[in-house]
């Protein structure tokens, strides 16, 4: 039964709103917004002017749901919320990657200045966000070199008896062993905060006064140190192309070539360029530059929740600029300026972003062509009918059976598909039983897998035993006919390039220069890296866990009191029940339970 477009269009409203298109199986295909729903939806069913991708969408439509909104701004916000929630295949999708990094300043007599990412739940002040980890580490390196602030954890700081290597190479003033006073450290810290807030002119002026005062007091070493700080700061100022006062600006430039899109976001905060980041959004409907840029900006700021600056400079004019601007301002609760035509310094920033986006597309195209060559060679080597669209590789990692983790990495024709990577914490298997671990990981992976996630080629990092386990699991899941199985054994020499491949019941090796072997090695190495990362994290978590956490009735407060009283778990184990009962909040009955638990 085809969709009755005429009947539907006769009844649809001419008000602004959002429409959702579904296929015959009830799957959401596309979400769109419109100033006039009737006019916009009518355009989909026109006999002329539709591109091939839009026509492919229309042929799959079985039902359309319409939601009327009070304004175009409200429609834009609703559209982006629905895209974020449902990820329709025909919408522009921007991967929501890791959170932005920050510089964190702790609350302490001698505060710690360090890199931070994730939830901002520590007691202190956060500076940022920065567009990339590199931008944060560069700023931290500069601050440590100029102001010599500590970057060690409090536990390390509290237990130092002599200066560490950071002090010896001139990157820390060693407050841990009292080589700097609290007041002097606080002054250096204030100067670092001024730098992070973009107050370089005021900071340099203040340092010049300090240098002159030190020279008058004949503290020539101190004056020389301040002179060096001023020189470093001036060099940073000279390298900054930005002269934007205290303004916050993002420059967003978009480029497309050979169906690959790249969006470059250049961030300027407090008048300082904080770096840039390139995104590669997936577009599905032959969008124009304006449409693609509008969709990116809406998702980037409204869906991904990135910080909205005072001004956004864009490389191409977008159709609903006033609506997008209004939505951003409403989301931020403060006016936002969205501009396309710029001059002078702002034109330089925009050109810089465009140049970077063009370079990013060129690199992506080169990598894509290279990857296509590797896949073609693999298809020939394995005598496959088609180039594999999806490949998965499994590996097992543990330390003498401890904290066993299995990894699953996924590659498609463009390379790693990191959103589909999985780690499996292996439980209930004998320590060191790699076969049992592989069985559990594969079973868990394929037990509830959907058709679109089934790999064409399954790689197993291991020999005949692991491959045999994989073959058994595929048979149990009735996937033997759909999934080709390839084992990658290190061989007798265990050297790269000498791998033995197990395929279709036989064994063979490939020439060390074989493109197919290079692709297999890349996937295998990525699986190995991912497994080791998961194993180390699990092992560190297990070893960092206090045995006190397993005792019923001992929460964070009582653990803290016990450790404060005794110093460490070893001393608690050495104590008798009477000594444990002396701790605040610990009754004699609870002390007995603690003693029994620690000595069971």
Q: Identify whether residues 157 and 190 lie together within a single domain.
A: yes
Residue 450's SS3 state is: coil
> Among 344, 361, 378, where does a domain finish?
361
Q: What is the residue-averaged pLDDT of the chain?
A: 84
The pLDDT score that the predictor gives to residue 241 is: 42
The pLDDT score that the predictor gives to residue 96 is: 53
**In the structure encoding, which two tokens stand for residue 555, read together?**
């929460």
What would the pLDDT profile of 429-483 be if each residue is shown by its tens digit? Answer: 888 899 999 999 999 999 888 888 899 999 999 889 999 999 999 999 999 999 9
Give yes or no for a contact between 19 and 66, defined as CB atoms under 8 angstroms apart. Answer: yes
Distance CA 16, CA 7 (A): 20
Distance CA 506, CA 517 (A): 17
**Residue 462 vs residue 156, higher pLDDT:** 462
- Please state whether the predicted TM-score (pTM) of the whole model is above 0.85: no
Cα pseudo-dihedral 336, 337, 340, 344, rounded to 10 = -130
Distance CA 64, CA 22 (A): 6
Q: Is residue 454 part of a domain?
A: yes
Give yes or no for a contact between 302 and 77, defined as CB atoms under 8 angstroms apart. Answer: yes
The pLDDT score that the predictor gives to residue 238 is: 47
Q: Is residue 258 part of a domain?
A: yes
**In the structure encoding, which two tokens stand for residue 220, read together?**
């020539």
What would the pLDDT profile of 520-557 be if each residue is shown by its tens digit? Answer: 999 999 999 999 988 888 877 766 666 777 787 788 78
> Among 86, 114, 131, where does a domain finish?
86
Q: Is residue 163 part of a domain?
A: yes
Q: Is residue 93 part of a domain?
A: no
Q: Identify whether residues 430 and 538 lie together within a single domain.
A: yes
Range of the structural domain that residue 161 is part of: 102-239
Work out how many domains the chain is built from and give that number: 5
Mean pLDDT confidence for 154-160: 80
- Residue 239: pLDDT band with limits 50, 70, 90: very low
Q: What CATH number is attached to the domain comprising 473?
A: 3.30.420.340
Q: Identify whether residues 57 and 38 lie together within a single domain.
A: yes
């Amino acid at each position: 039964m085809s969709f009755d477009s005429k009947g539907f269009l006769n009844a649809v409203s001419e008000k602004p709103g959002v429409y959702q298109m579904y296929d015959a199986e009830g799957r959401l295909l596309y979400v769109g917004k419109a100033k006039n729903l009737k006019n916009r939806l009518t355009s989909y069913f026109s006999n002329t002017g539709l591109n091939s991708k839009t026509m492919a969408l229309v042929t799959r439509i079985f039902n359309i749901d319409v939601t009327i909104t009070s304004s175009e701004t409200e429609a834009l916000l609703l559209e982006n919320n629905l895209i974020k929630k449902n990820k329709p295949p025909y919408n522009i999708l921007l991967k929501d990657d890791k959170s932005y990094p920050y510089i964190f300043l702790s609350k302490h007599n001698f505060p710690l200045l360090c890199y931070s990412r994730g939830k901002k739940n520590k007691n202190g002040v956060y500076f940022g966000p920065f567009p990339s980890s590199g931008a944060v580490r560069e700023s931290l390196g500069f601050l440590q070199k100029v102001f010599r602030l500590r970057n060690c954890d409090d536990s390390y700081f509290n237990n130092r008896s002599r200066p560490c290597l950071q002090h010896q190479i001139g990157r820390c003033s060693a407050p841990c062993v009292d080589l700097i006073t609290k007041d002097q450290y606080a002054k250096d810290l204030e100067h670092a905060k001024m730098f992070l807030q973009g107050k370089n002119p005021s900071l340099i002026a203040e340092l010049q006064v300090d240098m002159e005062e030190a020279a008058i007091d004949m503290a020539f070493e101190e004056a020389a140190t301040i002179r060096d700080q001023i020189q470093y700061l001036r060099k940073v100022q000279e390298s900054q192309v930005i002269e934007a006062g205290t303004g916050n600006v993002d420059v967003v430039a978009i480029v497309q070539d050979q169906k690959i899109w790249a969006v470059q976001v250049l961030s300027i905060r407090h008048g300082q360029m904080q770096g840039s980041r390139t995104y590669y959004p997936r577009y599905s409907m032959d969008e124009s530059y304006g449409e693609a840029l509008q969709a990116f900006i809406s998702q980037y700021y409204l869906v991904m929740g990135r910080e909205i600056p005072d001004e956004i400079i864009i490389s191409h004019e977008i159709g609903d600029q006033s609506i997008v601007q209004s939505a951003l301002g409403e989301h931020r609760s403060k006016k936002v300026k969205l501009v396309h035509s710029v001059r002078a310094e702002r034109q330089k920033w925009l050109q810089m972003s465009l140049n970077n986006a063009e370079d990013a597309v060129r690199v992506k195209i080169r990598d894509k062509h290279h990857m296509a060559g590797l896949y073609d060679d693999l298809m020939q080597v394995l005598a496959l009918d088609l180039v594999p669209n999806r490949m998965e590789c499994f590996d097992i990692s543990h330390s003498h059976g401890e904290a066993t983790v299995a990894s699953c990495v996924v590659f498609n024709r463009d390379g790693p598909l990191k959103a589909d990577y999985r780690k499996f914490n292996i439980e209930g298997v004998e320590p060191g039983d790699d076969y049992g671990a592989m069985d559990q990981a594969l079973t868990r992976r394929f037990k509830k897998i959907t058709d679109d996630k089934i790999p064409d080629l399954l790689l197993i990092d291991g020999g005949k035993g692991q491959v045999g386990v994989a073959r058994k699991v595929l048979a149990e899941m009735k996937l033997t006919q759909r999934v080709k199985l390839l084992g990658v054994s290190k061989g007798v020499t265990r050297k790269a390039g000498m791998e033995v491949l197990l395929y279709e019941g036989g064994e063979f090796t490939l020439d060390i220069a074989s493109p197919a072997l290079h692709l297999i090695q890349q996937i295998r190495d990525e699986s190995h890296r991912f497994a080791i990362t998961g194993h180390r994290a699990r092992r560190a978590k297990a070893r960092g866990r206090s045995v006190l956490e397993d005792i019923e009735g001992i929460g964070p407060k009582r653990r803290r009191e016990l450790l404060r009283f005794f110093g460490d778990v070893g001393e608690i184990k050495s104590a008798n029940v009477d000594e444990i009962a002396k701790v605040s909040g610990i009754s004699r009955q609870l002390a007995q339970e603690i003693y029994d638990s620690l000595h069971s």
